[in-house]
Amino acid sequence: MAFSDLKFFLTGGRISRFFKDLGKDSLHTSCELLKVTVPAIIVTKILEELGLVYYVGKVLDPLMGLMGLPGELGLVWATAIFTTPYGGIGVYAALGPSVSLSGAEITVLCSIMLIAHSLPIELSIARKAGAGMLSLGVLRLGGALIYGILLHRLCTGLQLWQEPAISLFQAISREQSLLQWCVGQAANIVLICGVIFLVLLVMRVLQAAGIIRLVEGLLKPLLPMFGMTHRAAPVTVVGMLLGIVYGGALIIKETTTGNMDSREVFNSLALMSLSHGLVEDTLVMLALGAKLGGIFWGRLLFSLIVVYLLVKTVDYLLAMGKVKPQ
Q: What is the pLDDT of residue 254?
A: 66
Give the SS3 label for residue 166. coil
Residue 10: pLDDT band (50, 70, 90) is very low
Q: Rounded to an integer, what distance in angstroms lies between the CA atom of residue 106 and that of residue 112?
A: 10
Q: What is the pLDDT of residue 113?
A: 95
List residues bridging with 102 in a β-sheet.
164
What integer is the mean pLDDT of 110-121?
A: 90
Q: Highest-confidence range of 6-10, 94-98, 272-276, by mean pLDDT?
A: 272-276
What integer is the mean pLDDT of 288-296?
A: 95
- The whole-chain average pLDDT of the chain stands at 79
Residue 3: pLDDT band (50, 70, 90) is very low
What integer is the mean pLDDT of 251-279?
A: 80
Return the higher-pLDDT residue of 287 and 306.
306
- Judged against a pLDDT cut of 80, whether residue 62 lies above it is answered with yes
Mark 263-277 as b/e (b = at least 16 C-beta within 10 Å): bbbbbbbbbbbbbbb
Return the higher-pLDDT residue of 235 and 311.
311
What integer is the mean pLDDT of 245-268?
A: 71
Q: Give pLDDT tens digits for 204-220.
A: 777 777 776 776 677 67
Q: What is the pLDDT of residue 8?
A: 45
Q: What is the pLDDT of residue 103?
A: 95
What integer is the mean pLDDT of 180-192?
A: 74
Q: Rounded to an integer, what distance in angstroms lies between the CA atom of residue 89 and that of residue 79?
A: 9
Helices 119-129 and 244-256 cross at an angle (nearest 10°) of: 20
Q: What angle do CA 156, 161, 163 make, to 5 degrees?
A: 110
Global pTM reads 0.75
- The CA distances from residue 317 to 51, 138, 139, in Å, are 50, 20, 19
Give the SS3 label for residue 102. strand
Give the residue ranges of DSSP H helices in the chain. Answer: 3-49, 52-65, 74-82, 85-94, 103-115, 119-129, 133-158, 178-208, 211-219, 233-242, 244-256, 262-274, 280-288, 292, 299-320
What integer is the mean pLDDT of 19-47?
A: 72
Cβ(204)–Cβ(197) under 8 Å? no
Q: Rounded to an integer, what distance in angstroms lies between the CA atom of residue 142 and that of residue 154?
A: 18
Q: What is the pLDDT of residue 152?
A: 97
Give the SS3 label for residue 164. strand
What integer is the mean pLDDT of 93-107?
A: 83
Return the higher-pLDDT residue of 174 and 61.
61
Least confident of 103-117, 179-193, 308-322: 179-193
Q: What is the pLDDT of residue 262?
A: 79
